[in-house]
Structure 1
Amino acid sequence: MTTSLTPPQLHRSAGTRRGGLAAYYAAALAIRTSDAGSAAAIVLLALHTARDGHPSLGTYAGLLASCLTIPHMLGPLSARALSLIPNARLGLTTAFALFAMTFGAAGLLMAHAHIAMAALCLVIAGFLGPILTGGLSSHLGSLLPDNRATQRRAQSADSLTYAISNSVGNSMVGAVAVLISPLATMMVLAALAALAALLATLLPLRDIPRASASRASVKNVLLVMVKTKGLRDIMIITYGNAIGFTSLIVLATTFARSQHLPAATGPFLLAVMGGGSLLVGVWFTARPLTVDVVRAAKWCAVASGVFMFLPALGQTWSAAVAFLAVGGCQSVLNTAALAVRREASPPDLRESVFVTMAGAKVGVATLGLALAGLVPVDAMPYGFAAAGLLSLLAGLSVRGNK
């Protein structure tokens, strides 16, 4: 015997769903803006404190920032810790709140030149990083009907929150630092994380099956990711592309210097890339992806690789076109990655897979930044060619599902 919902029940269900989605996207924007601007805020505060009578802190600016970014690579351990909390909403709320407390405490400690304690707080905050991104995204699908078009639209909107947060986070850090102080930037970012924790308590998350301790172990989660074709393919595509894509953050400045262009050219190219990501994200939120998502990711990585070769021509117009197109491709690729993680992951390990893959992506992105930093100005064309080749090969290395 089946039961159907009455009109009032349907209305309440739809209202709950809309309220849950509003809380989700608000929390996503808040926590991802906090995460996106955190490294820049740390460096600004360290340099400011060094000028105010603690010169040794300036030496540790990069090291303190790495205390936040490097622990992201421990995503498998972050996933294991999150899996120990039986209630999904409690797990997210706890992670967001703990990030707010440790990041805010690190700012206060840095302002008084307590380097060791600040570094410890930042390591804890960095360990939580993959949960802020992948952990939250893993639950988006549970807020929606299991309808492909609806899921794709929501995943595109989720990808859009990353693009918005990256733009707003870094811009806000610079603005608050100039208008108030660098310490205020860290306090604002910590407050955003605290707001995300409050919003997470409003998420109407469905109960999800929890894996046993042995099944949720780091080793088993990694094995599932490697053995599951969809997850394996999307890892190859996104990680190969991520090395090339993140290298553009450094190579944009290298391009400007090699062509003797104004210093603002580098940030301009990155803004163009962000604009491309935003435009495409809005488009696919309105008109959801209908093609196979792995195939979409594959050809977006290939297209990104081709466009990354264009700045090597040394023309500003070609660089602008390339950055715009790469930003657009990245939006589709991110949406595809979210879709594949949801659909290919076992339900009881979905949260762990999202968190693990989010942490690993930060690791390969850091590698891209480091490698790009080694490219001398006169070797600029080779830097773009190498970035393009990595993305191109990552896409072409994945074969069809059949």
Structure 2
Amino acid sequence: MPHTPDTPDAPTLYDVDGELLPRPFKTGRLGHFGLYVRDIPASLAFYQDVLGFRRTDALPGPEGSAPPYGVFLTYNADHHAMVVIDAEVGKARGDAYAQGVTINQMSFQVATLREVVEANAMLTRRAKPVRRVGRDVPGSNWAVYFTDPDRNTVELFYGMEQIGWDRRSKPPEFIEYRSAEPPRLPQPAELDEVRAVQDTGTDIGSGHQWSETREAVFDVGGVLLPRPFKIVNSGPISLFVSDIEASIAFYVDEMGMAVTEETTYAGERVVYLRSGTEHHTITLLPLALRRTVGLDQFSTLAAYGLQVGSYRQLRDAAAFLEAEGCAIVELPRELHLGIDYALHVTDPDGHTVQIYHQMEQVGTLGRPMTAAERRRPAAAWPRTLTPLGPTSPNPTFQGPLG
């Protein structure tokens, strides 16, 4: 679809760190994802204890009461890859939750702080509603928040606090760096902020530190872990939408994604979009399919993807999750093109979590694999797979598995 300039006199291309683009930012990876949940302890029992996310921070209830109304979770060095927020917060923010919008946020990373500032300016010029712009703490990331046509909150963020070998987050004193205003550029480097807090006498080592509750008994690639798999990436988000054309226009024109592929299932259109080289970042499905495939009849989230480190880990995860009593969901292949072997389970709120080990990569020219080129998954998963080609995508470096 053609790009619509901000005003008749405005340029149609922006210099984004030396690259000319039709918008003043470049949508990157899905950095983190947030859900409204009805029972935070139950959600933590699933995402933290069963799937292996680490807790890094929490938003305490009134006057520090427990349980908190929000908890930050991660699986890598990012301060958070997931946030679970009490559903009462979602209800208090308007009627979107009552309409099934249980996503708190879908957060995509950009490479520079300037992109956040200029994205906010672009949205303002186009009279698009901005929910908030500023800096989030915990996490230390700068962000602008806005909504898609179905009122899902989308975030473009820059930077993220990194948690190192001691698994310790920043101490509470960094809360003073929270901001609800667009940043003035340039901002100080994060290390300078850390030194400024140290100069006040704050113990930098006083932040939250994660402690695992399960015994490490599984050999995962030569390392003992509490589970037979390790989550290494936040995968695609599948959405039930009310108007697929409006959603395509938003994610293509506003967010800069590209349509990778379309298919049909039960007579309904399914559209895959990508922000990078992976086959898809977002899948759009019409609301009519929600009942057809038997997923939760309240939420407009069709699936939240999580990638594990290998096919062996995926097989072992299937046995482990079944032994844990997780509800397994069968979804048709047409709803996860680009991913051959996938396991689907439901969380305590009925959200579907898609666990997979590999996604098809789309080359520079943007052509996905044909049906003939793709591997046809067997009904009974084999013990091993034959590679599709002489090379496969290099995994994102994750540091130690545990």
TM-score (norm 2): 0.29
Bigger relative contact order, structure 1 or 2 (CA pairs below 8 A, ≥6 apart): 1
TM-score (norm 1): 0.29
Higher strand share: 2
